[in-house]
Chains A and B, each alone.
Chain A
Amino acid sequence: MDLIVGQLFTGLSTGSILLLAALGLSLTFGQMGVINMAHGEFIMAGCYTAYVVQQAVGDAGVSLLIALPLGFAVGGAMGLVLETLLIRHLYHRPLDTLLVTFGVGLILQQVARDVFGAPAVNVTVPEFLRGGVDLLGTTVPKTRLFIMALAVVAVAAVTLVLRLTPAGRRIRAVVGNRDLAETAGISSRTVDAGTFFIGSGLAGVAGVALTLIGSTSPTTGQSYLVDAFLVVVAGGLGRIKGAVVAAVALGTLQAVFETYSTASLAKVGVFIVIVVFLQLRPQGLFTLRTRSLA
């Protein structure tokens, strides 16, 4: 029982980290078919935001509360710049966009290396998040619970924005049918920029959260990126629901594999499961149906 609860919890925890990293990707990938390889570096920017704020403020609790919205703003602003300067001009060339944004990611990593140095830095965890909570017979670190809560809040916020606000309706319209949305008077450029801001902002938030459970280095974001992409692929394009299910499933899978083998075999195992899964559902868990051939 303890083992199962423990694994389930580890799965949920890994899953919520994946979800935080993947949520923004799911938005941008889903809406524009754009693979933003610099998304990982936006996460990294969020991490360093948390670090800088803590250096400036001192108090760990206060700095976390400042860093979360600030991380969103930093990530979002970087995304906005990237979208306006580069991605916007590369529509209909998704693979080229992938490579271009990889180049941007390389540059951002080197900037971080030059500014903060290559060695990892650490952010102090606030007092109220230290230690653990006893839950169903296992001890659960509070930081992980916090991240899970943050993931839930982020998903809820994105869902609410998409469903209830006029901006969200425009985003969904563009996801559903870009051309039709344009003829209905929606400026897809503005919507794209907005989506990119939100998606990249979420990466910044994810980065801030990640400082609670690990140290930060210029390559921090990159290490999460591929897993995040797998979540998006398995979940289905542009579906928040799919991203949630896929993140939790992959997190749990990873946890289970790690229990019965090694961490290195677990990665291979997860990869194989995804390839097999795509045999059954090539378009991912949930799909939007359209009539276009592409």
Chain B
Amino acid sequence: MNDIALTCKNIEVDFEGFKAVGGVDLELRRGEVHFLIGPNGAGKTTLVDAVTGLVGYTGSVLKDGEELRGKKVHHIARKGIGRTFQTATVFENLTVAQNLDIAAGSGRGPWSLLRRRRALPAAVTDTMERIGLADHADTLAGILAHGQKQWLEIGMLLVGDADVLLLDEPIAGMGHDERETTGRLLHDIAAERAVAVVEHDMDFMRANASRVTVLHGGTILAAGSVDEVSADPKVQEVYLGTSDHKEAADAAAA
């Protein structure tokens, strides 16, 4: 299906004189797992922050043709843009089912909010299956394993009908098996959604990326398929580090 879900045009984020992101164009397509990579300080997370309304920016972000700039965080979320955080952020004092039920319910009216939940919505039970937590419906999210929390967080976006998913380091701290499962999960959910993944792990990227954008110092260094990007001499310089670029990367990271 490969239609464009999200278009970023000339995004610039300025932190009081420091350009964290300087003129980035990006398209996210449904059906693709799009990796955003780059050294520390390249502007990956800031870009996600901008799209989701956490930081102000200039430029334009269109979701299926609708401008998102200037909208509040929760309005953008309701337009179907979901994000995760570098450290998995779930509601630790609520159960897995409660976490997902909340995520499913941003459109609920006051009456259904003020009543007790009778049964779990089908979307919640389906999602628990999908993220492999069906046996943990009544487990407090706080005592889940690290990887399970990451999956739960992704599940919360799925159940909330997000169709653009921005995942910030979804496999950080995961073991080998968990990474593989996560990779399969990403492709599974990308079937009808656009998924962008901010990641440092190159092996994971090579195994799972449909498309890659390399950010460096707040601008796009290279973009294309895994092979194209890997072959790009500029990218090799940034990652393998000839002296100038190493310094530039360090400066950007500071």
Seen from chain A, the residues whose Cβ lies within 8 Å of a Cβ on chain B are 289, 291, 293
Contact = CB atoms under 8 A, between A and B. Distances in A.
B15 A289 contact: yes
A291 B15 CA distance: 10
B16 interface: yes
A289 B14 CA distance: 12
A239 to B, nearest CB: 14
Contacts of B16: 289
Interface string B1-26: 00000000000000110000000000
A279 to B, nearest CB: 15
Interface string B74-85: 000000000001
5 contacts: A289-B15, A289-B16, A291-B45, A291-B46, A293-B85
Nearest to B20: A291
Interface of B: 15-16, 45-46, 85
A293 B87 CA distance: 11
* Dominant secondary structure at the A interface: loop
Contacts of A289: 15-16
A289 B15 CA distance: 8
B250 to A, nearest CB: 15
Nearest to A289: B15
A293 B15 CA distance: 15
A293 B84 CA distance: 13
A167 to B, nearest CB: 24
A293 B45 CA distance: 12
A29 to B, nearest CB: 23
A41 B16 CA distance: 39
Contacts of A291: 45-46
B49 to A, nearest CB: 9
Contacts of A293: 85
B17 to A, nearest CB: 11
A289 B45 CA distance: 16
Rank and list the top 5 A-B pairs by shortest CB-CB distance, nearest first.
Answer: A289-B15, A289-B16, A293-B85, A291-B45, A291-B46
B221 to A, nearest CB: 21
Nearest to B18: A289
B9 to A, nearest CB: 24
B51 to A, nearest CB: 16
A291 to B, nearest CB: 8
Contacts of B85: 293
Contacts of B15: 289
Contacts of B46: 291
A146 to B, nearest CB: 39
Nearest to B55: A291
A293 B73 CA distance: 14
Nearest to A287: B16
A94 B15 CA distance: 28
A285 to B, nearest CB: 15
A289 B46 CA distance: 14
A239 B153 CA distance: 36
Contacts of B45: 291
B77 to A, nearest CB: 15
A77 to B, nearest CB: 39
B190 to A, nearest CB: 26
A293 B46 CA distance: 12
B119 to A, nearest CB: 34
A291 B16 CA distance: 13
A118 B116 CA distance: 53
Nearest to B87: A293
Nearest to A293: B85
B176 to A, nearest CB: 28
Nearest to B89: A293
A293 B16 CA distance: 18
A289 B13 CA distance: 14
A18 B175 CA distance: 55
B146 to A, nearest CB: 19
A291 B48 CA distance: 13
A252 B223 CA distance: 58
Nearest to B46: A291
